[in-house]
Structure 1
Amino acid sequence: MITMLEATCMELDEKKLQYERIMHALKIEEAVAEVASAGVDESMGDDAVSEEEEADSKAGEEDSDSSE
């Protein structure tokens, strides 16, 4: 009886370890996804700023062309 309980306990420990590894891997995957999405958000913001600057410079060029 004790031997059977010890074997069951060892199996449960192994399964627990497997689940802990899975959870750890998922946490890493989630963190990587957050960093990647933050990078995309930042680059989108940079693109928006670039587009605004480009529009401003074009507007400035048009203003200087019309003043000549």
Structure 2
Amino acid sequence: MEGVERLVVQVLYGGGLRIAECLRLRVKDIDFELNQTVIYDGKGQKSWLVRWCTPMIRAMAATATFD
């Protein structure tokens, strides 16, 4: 498994996200300077903060498209 598929699995496992939360994730939701993301409308319609390790942020930045 490589590329985007690998990153999706890492985000699901490493961030504890549910599939729907992962699929709604946008590049602008990720704070690359603070290594964190706010997940909006998670389970129970609550928002919560996910902190990412540096290798995960690097993988996200390398895979993301900044359109």
Normalising by the residue count of structure 2, what TM-score does the alignment of the two structures yield? 0.21
Higher normalized contact order (CA 8 Å, seq sep 6+, divided by chain length): 2
Answer 1 or 2: which has greater strand percent: 2
Answer 1 or 2: which has greater helix percent: 1
Normalising by the residue count of structure 1, what TM-score does the alignment of the two structures yield? 0.20
Q: Which has the larger radius of gyration?
A: 1
